[in-house]
A and B are shown apart, each in its own frame.
Chain A
Amino acid sequence: MPAMDLVLNGQPRTLPDADIDPRMPLLWALRDVLNLTGTKFGCGVNACGACTVHVDGQPMRACVTPLSAVAGKSVRTIEGLGSPGRPHALQKAWIAHQVPQCGYCQSGMLMAAAALLARNARPSDADIDAAITNLCRCGTYPRIRAAIHAAARELREPAASRAHAPARAAGPPKP
């Protein structure tokens, strides 16, 4: 396979042919060739979602997505979800709700959640259960749920949402 073109986080990129095997999963091209390490390896078998990225806007598990499947397409990774100056609403909600613990699964969680919000502006709890099949060993699920709801509100009605304190899955303890 000759050099491969794709659009990575909005920028056209060409992968040199020396690095390209069409069967190589996108995950390893991102991590080990392009040094974009925000996308994580967790299982290699499409089970944990730590490697979730967007391909033409759709959530894909990069560990089982061969490079041949993304040639000429637009790939977005956690590094391109927001920018330091303009974080994605989900990233802001993740901070407001103090979601991450070890943090390893959170790139995939955020990418899966961003794909959900892109197609469903008002996800129900059941929608979140169905869309977020990623695994988190630290048990951040209740906060992820609350942060997705908060980000969805923020994206729907930014002004109104800002006027209220973010809701929480678990109220802060009152010692």
Chain B
Amino acid sequence: MKRRMFLLTGLGAAGTLVVGWALLPPRSRLGRADLMPAGGGEVGLNGWIQIARDGGVRLAMHRSEMGQGVHTALAMLAAEELDVPLARVQLVQAGHDALYGNVASFVDQLPFHPREREAGAETRTVKTAQWVVSKLARELGINVTGGSSSVADAWEPLRWAAATARAQLVGAASLRWRLPVEDLVVEGGVVSHPSGPSSHYGELAKAAAATPPGDVSVKEPSRWRLVGKPAPRIDVGPKVDGSARFGIDVRLPGQLFAVVRHSPVLGGGPGRMNVDAALRRPGVERVVRLPSYAGSAPAVAVVGRTVWHALQGADALDVEWRAPPGVAPDSARIARALEQAAREAAQREGGFAFYRRGDWPRAVQSAARTIEAVYRAPYLAHATMEPMCCTAQVERGRVAVWAATQVPGLARAVAAQAAGVPQAQVTLHVTYLGGGFGRRLEVDVVGQAVRVALETAGRPVQLVWPREEDLGHDFYRPAGAAVMRAAIDARGDVVGLGITSAGDAVTPRWMERTLPALTVPLDTPDKAVADGLFDLPYAIPHERIAHVATKSGVPVGYWRSVGHSHNAFFSESFVDELAHALKQDPVAFRLSLLKEHSPRHAAVLQLAADKAGWGRPLPPGRARGVALHESFGSIVAQVAEVSLAGGRPKVHRVVCAADVGTVVNPQIVAQQMESGIVFGLSAALYGRIDIVGGVVQQTNFPAYRLAGMADSPAIETHLVPSARKPSGVGEPGTPPIAPAVGNALFALTGQRRRELPL
């Protein structure tokens, strides 16, 4: 999306700059107090913070909790600056103001090499582009929970908002007691003076709202009480007693249930349909044809008294499915086409070069030796444990929607479109998400649910996708292929790296179905699919990293870590190949390519190697593999210990080291590394979506296998201390595990695996 934003920026920058944006401090994201609803005597101090009568803090929560711990992390930031215990922070769903848009995720998508955007070392081009995109993102205010960006994005504005609120509260006490601010103490949300006066925030809030904050500063790290410590997650209680409300758990008076059926062939839709048999089934209320919403295929929904009744009706449907226009996609054919496209582009230096350094063609010509390998990855489904679902109610022109969504504003937009009402007529409730992983950046199911609710005479209806629909009609992680080439000089040094990958662009496809208003006619290069190839940390003097964007006809979308998810397998397996070809230890080889330019990467790799006992003997039949990868601003190294059991890889232990910048909650960071590793392990060991004649072959979990308890290794996470701004946590654990396991398998068997799954 940000690529397009970049282009838009180019078109609109002149005009917008004339309007006179100034480079404002983070306090420009304070927001107006009336952005938060107040009904119970709360006093709003800005767009993020309200104070309740009892002195509790109410925090506008703009990001969606899908397991990544963002509710806890952001509440910690507010509690820290306000000096209240975490338990005193109550979350209130944020509204749709642009204040709550995600700026960091847009800026992250600018196609600059990490070295070019290193803070303090940016060129003017980088700085200008970042500034313009951040301003544009700020104006658009698109609320996205994704791109591992929530803490990075909230880091300044949320802390400043909380610190400003605190300053107003303390200022109010100072005025009331006529005592200097510097002499007042705040402890647990109570402001006091050693001479006796004491008031909790609730008693000061009204006066604080009228008190200017004066000079505000956020805390120095040395004064943190919460940040950096392993606070328990605030969502764990309801998640162990069944009371947590996910999208599928919404229950309203008079509620109906609906299930969806899509054409078995991707892109097909319902043609002639006989609904008599379905309607004769007990408990079936009606059948609704669904047009396409936000990229969904046209479909049919069956409404019933319970999901089961709706399922019975769906089984009795008599539908002639229309074939999609054009040739039905076929994953085996696509895989061959991608490989051919990558090979041809590699031959003639084609594709879009995301990164160039030195003179790659000359490096190849003058090389003493070249090493070449071709890597492949399949389509993958998200398979969130909570299937796609959405609840909607349409009554007298007003629409209420309950959705487990990563994009509440875009969900509201599609709901309004489906109901034919202005967005202001739509109330959108965000529930807990039973997993997101990028699938809930899509709003197809929201449009479908609202369409069904238009037919139920004001009764709320919950639309549920059976698992077969979820796996068969996902927006898949695109398949990919890459030709990897290295040039080695006479001394045995790697002097050139050429990578030519091919695969479908993700961002333009997501934009055109989800944000059509911002779509431009021509695809611009999608950095998201080049991530993990063009941005490598190794000091290789000559590089050309290019990508060929294809259109394969399969719906594709963002999948946890996006391009990194397979590109890290390509790059880190190939780097391992180079180490072995040059008869060097894989850790030492990487370190030799990192030491001068990438000290952070070297430190992370060294930590993982040390903690894993790299080089120390293992029991017979076991081997270690290592991988190092940067994504979403964070650097992660993993060492996997692997054996073969009945010819299949068994991963026993994974040692993970990470530099994620400042750590807000080390417990959650460790959890996310574990999560990323197991998620990536499912893809490494089993993950593949096969499409034959347009029909997805994996229909449910027995066929789309996920790593289970018996597959799950022991995992240790070690964090490199850092004072940098926080960077991504939810996704960076995923990319390195596939190459770490593949590299261990090579160490074990001498056979190089160049295709996923292993």
Q: Are B674 and A77 interface neighbours, CB within 8 A? A: no
Q: Is the CB of B240 closer than 8 A to any CB of chain A?
A: yes
Complex alpha-carbon distance, A29 and B709, angstroms? 29
Cβ of B282 to closest chain A Cβ, rounded Å = 7
Q: 0/1 per residue, B119-156, Cβ < 8 Å to A? A: 00000000000000000000000000000000000000
Q: 0/1 per residue, A118-144, Cβ < 8 Å to B? A: 000000000011101111111111111
Residues of B within 8 A of A143 (CB): 671, 674
Q: Are B467 and A101 interface neighbours, CB within 8 A? A: no
Q: 0/1 per residue, A91-118, Cβ < 8 Å to B? A: 1001100111111111100100000000
Candidates B242, B676, B681; contact of A37 at CB < 8 Å: B242
Q: Is the CB of B432 closer than 8 A to any CB of chain A?
A: yes
Q: 0/1 per residue, B675-706, Cβ < 8 Å to A? A: 11111011000000000000000001110001
Q: Is the CB of B299 closer than 8 A to any CB of chain A?
A: no
Q: Are A172 and B230 interface neighbours, CB within 8 A? A: yes
For window 3-21 of A, CB contacts with B under 8 Å fall at 19, 21
Q: Known: A102-B433, A104-B246. Contact between A48 and B308, CB under 8 A? A: no
Q: Is the CB of A45 closer than 8 A to any CB of chain B?
A: yes
Q: Is the CB of A47 closer than 8 A to any CB of chain B?
A: yes
Q: Are A135 and B385 interface neighbours, CB within 8 A? A: yes
Candidates A36, A45, A175; contact of B228 at CB < 8 Å: A175
Residues of B within 8 A of A42 (CB): 385-387, 467, 701
Q: Are A104 and B307 interface neighbours, CB within 8 A? A: no
Candidates B241, B385, B710, B712; contact of A104 at CB < 8 Å: B385
The interface size bin for chain A is 35 or more
Q: Known: A47-B702, A133-B709, A138-B435. Contact between A172 and B671, CB under 8 A? A: no
Q: Is the CB of B714 closer than 8 A to any CB of chain A?
A: yes
Q: Are A136 and B385 interface neighbours, CB within 8 A? A: yes
Closest residue of B by beta carbon distance from A108: B385
Q: Are A79 and B667 interface neighbours, CB within 8 A? A: no
Cβ of A108 to closest chain B Cβ, rounded Å = 9
Candidates B228, B237, B674, B679; contact of A170 at CB < 8 Å: B674
Candidates A39, A95, A135; contact of B701 at CB < 8 Å: A135
Q: Are B700 and A47 interface neighbours, CB within 8 A? A: yes
Q: Known: A41-B307, A139-B678, A175-B721. Contact between A103 and B67, CB under 8 A? A: yes
Q: Which of A48, A91, A173 has the most CB of B within 10 A?
A: A173
Q: Are A142 and B385 interface neighbours, CB within 8 A? A: no
Residues of A within 8 A of B305 (CB): 19, 32
Cβ of A148 to closest chain B Cβ, rounded Å = 10
Q: Is the CB of B257 closer than 8 A to any CB of chain A?
A: yes
Q: Is the CB of B199 closer than 8 A to any CB of chain A?
A: no
Residues of B within 8 A of A102 (CB): 65-67, 384-386, 432-436
Q: Is the CB of B334 closer than 8 A to any CB of chain A?
A: no
Q: Are A103 and B232 interface neighbours, CB within 8 A? A: no
Q: Are A169 and B715 interface neighbours, CB within 8 A? A: yes
Q: 0/1 per residue, A31-46, Cβ < 8 Å to B? A: 1110111111111110
Q: Are A38 and B466 interface neighbours, CB within 8 A? A: no
Q: Is the CB of B68 closer than 8 A to any CB of chain A?
A: yes
Complex alpha-carbon distance, A47 and B251, angstroms? 26
Complex alpha-carbon distance, A104 and B717, angstroms? 24
Closest residue of A by beta carbon distance from B464: A41
Closest residue of B by beta carbon distance from A27: B308
Q: Is the CB of B716 closer than 8 A to any CB of chain A?
A: yes
Residues of A within 8 A of B240 (CB): 87, 91, 94-95, 99-100, 106, 110
Q: Is the CB of A59 closer than 8 A to any CB of chain B?
A: no
Candidates A39, A43, A87, A175; contact of B663 at CB < 8 Å: A175
Q: Are B709 and A38 interface neighbours, CB within 8 A? A: no
Cβ of B252 to closest chain A Cβ, rounded Å = 10
Q: Are A94 and B236 interface neighbours, CB within 8 A? A: yes
Q: Is the CB of B69 closer than 8 A to any CB of chain A?
A: yes
For window 617-646 of B, CB contacts with A under 8 Å fall at none
Q: Are A144 and B675 interface neighbours, CB within 8 A? A: no
Q: Are A87 and B241 interface neighbours, CB within 8 A? A: yes
Q: 0/1 per residue, B418-450, Cβ < 8 Å to A? A: 000000000000001111110000000000000
Q: Is the CB of B91 closer than 8 A to any CB of chain A?
A: no
Q: Known: A100-B239, A101-B69, A128-B709. Contact between A40 and B433, CB under 8 A? A: no
Residues of A within 8 A of B306 (CB): 24, 28-29, 31-33
Residues of B within 8 A of A19 (CB): 305
Complex alpha-carbon distance, A91 and B305, angstroms? 33
Q: Known: A98-B236, A173-B669. Contact between A40 and B248, CB under 8 A? A: yes
Complex alpha-carbon distance, A82 and B241, angstroms? 8
Q: Are A45 and B251 interface neighbours, CB within 8 A? A: no
Closest residue of B by beta carbon distance from A145: B709
Residues of A within 8 A of B702 (CB): 45, 47
Residues of B within 8 A of A170 (CB): 670, 674, 714-717
Residues of A within 8 A of B464 (CB): 41
Residues of B within 8 A of A81 (CB): 241-242
Complex alpha-carbon distance, A90 and B419, angstroms? 45
Q: Is the CB of A164 closer than 8 A to any CB of chain B?
A: no
Residues of A within 8 A of B433 (CB): 102
Cβ of A32 to closest chain B Cβ, rounded Å = 4
Cβ of A124 to closest chain B Cβ, rounded Å = 13
Q: 0/1 per residue, B283-309, Cβ < 8 Å to A? A: 100000000000000000000011110
Residues of A within 8 A of B710 (CB): 129-130
Q: 0/1 per residue, B221-252, Cβ < 8 Å to A? A: 00000001010110111111111111011010
Residues of A within 8 A of B716 (CB): 170-171
Q: Are A44 and B467 interface neighbours, CB within 8 A? A: yes
Q: Are A137 and B308 interface neighbours, CB within 8 A? A: no
Closest residue of A by beta carbon distance from B65: A102
Q: Are B239 and A103 interface neighbours, CB within 8 A? A: yes
Residues of B within 8 A of A82 (CB): 241
Closest residue of B by beta carbon distance from A48: B701
Q: Are A38 and B701 interface neighbours, CB within 8 A? A: no
Cβ of B610 to closest chain A Cβ, rounded Å = 13
Q: Is the CB of B666 closer than 8 A to any CB of chain A?
A: yes
Q: Are A24 and B308 interface neighbours, CB within 8 A? A: yes
Q: Are B709 and A95 interface neighbours, CB within 8 A? A: no
Residues of B within 8 A of A134 (CB): 708-709
Q: Are A139 and B674 interface neighbours, CB within 8 A? A: yes
Complex alpha-carbon distance, A43 and B471, angstroms? 10
Complex alpha-carbon distance, A48 and B244, angstroms? 19
Complex alpha-carbon distance, A173 and B672, angstroms? 12
Complex alpha-carbon distance, A50 and B672, angstroms? 21
Q: Is the CB of B719 closer than 8 A to any CB of chain A?
A: yes
Candidates A105, A140, A169, A173; contact of B666 at CB < 8 Å: A173
Closest residue of A by beta carbon distance from B256: A32
Complex alpha-carbon distance, A37 and B237, angstroms? 16
For window 175-219 of B, CB contacts with A under 8 Å fall at none
Q: Known: A42-B385, A102-B435. Contact between A139 and B707, CB under 8 A? A: yes
Residues of A within 8 A of B246 (CB): 40, 103-104
Q: Is the CB of B383 closer than 8 A to any CB of chain A?
A: yes
Q: Is the CB of A174 closer than 8 A to any CB of chain B?
A: yes
Q: Are A77 and B700 interface neighbours, CB within 8 A? A: no
Complex alpha-carbon distance, A139 and B246, angstroms? 18
Closest residue of A by beta carbon distance from B251: A35
Candidates A31, A33, A78, A140; contact of B241 at CB < 8 Å: A78
Residues of B within 8 A of A91 (CB): 240-241
For window 25-82 of A, CB contacts with B under 8 Å fall at 25, 28-29, 31-33, 35-45, 47-48, 50, 77-79, 81-82
Residues of A within 8 A of B720 (CB): 175
The 9 closest A-B pairs by CB, nearest first: A38-B242, A139-B678, A102-B67, A104-B434, A103-B239, A101-B67, A32-B306, A141-B712, A78-B242
Q: List 17 A-B contacts (CB under 8 A).
A: A28-B306, A32-B306, A40-B246, A79-B241, A84-B241, A95-B240, A100-B240, A104-B435, A105-B385, A137-B385, A137-B679, A139-B707, A141-B707, A141-B711, A142-B712, A144-B709, A172-B667
Given contacts A31-B306, A78-B241, A129-B709, 11 further A-B contacts (CB under 8 A): A35-B251, A40-B246, A42-B385, A42-B387, A45-B700, A82-B241, A100-B236, A101-B675, A104-B384, A141-B708, A141-B711
